[in-house]
Amino acid sequence: MVKRMSNCTSCNCNCSKNLPEDLVKIFEKYAKKRENVIPLLQDVQEKYGYLSKENLISISEYLNVPTSNVYGVATFYNQFRLVPLGKHIIRVCRGTACHVKGSLKILEKLESELKIKAGETTEDGLFSLETVACVGACSIAPVITIDEEFYGRLQAKDVTALVEKYEKSN
């Protein structure tokens, strides 16, 4: 449901546009102060899964700070996403044990296979590729996770079959 906010009396911002009711509810939890940028970004991302351009603009209008400042915070911290995540999230462990055992080759093979770089999502929205510092499974290094499933002792040659398995499941 969209809530009409004439001069945004509900959230007291300077905008005058239609905002989704759930976004208005998030805004209502926070005072209109610059220091609320990060908590607002976190809550909006939790609700929508990522930070859309429209939501970044709405946050900046609510807080009365330049959109470039809100965007700067969202791009500075790697916890924030500006695009929706794919249906399957592939995380490549880049910790010491995995690095020594060849996780870089696995990452490069995944990037080649999926035609994306780490931090991106495939055009069809099926896969997102991320790197992580450690998944805590050093004994089976190198390790990737797909969603919550662990795949250890991988080699680059294993990647194609693994990707195909998830493509076929959809």
Last-in-domain residue among 54, 76, 98: 76
Are 70 and 104 in the same domain?
no
Q: Both tokens of residue 91?
A: 């995380």
Last-in-domain residue among 52, 76, 100: 76
Question: pLDDT band at 30, cuts 50/70/90?
Answer: very high
Are 61 and 126 in the same domain?
no
Report residue 19: phi and psi, to 5°: -120, 145
Strands 127-132 and 88-93: parallel
Does some domain include residue 122?
A: yes
Are 107 and 145 in the same domain?
yes
Question: pLDDT band at 18, cuts 50/70/90?
Answer: confident
Per the structure, the count of domains in the chain is: 2
CATH number of the domain within which 54 lies: 1.10.10
Last-in-domain residue among 51, 76, 101: 76
Are 150 and 97 in the same domain?
yes
pLDDT at 101 over 80: yes
Stretch 91-117: mean pLDDT:
98
CATH number of the domain within which 127 lies: 3.40.30.10
Phi/psi-derived region of residue 122, left when phi > 0, alpha when psi is between -120 and 50, beta in every other case: beta
Are 163 and 92 in the same domain?
yes
Question: pLDDT band at 15, cuts 50/70/90?
Answer: low
Q: How far apart are CA 95 and CA 109, in angstroms?
A: 18
Share of the chain above pLDDT 70, in %: 90
Q: How far apart are CA 61 and CA 11, in angstroms?
A: 10
Are 110 and 157 in the same domain?
yes
Are 60 and 97 in the same domain?
no
Print the domain residue range for 163.
88-168
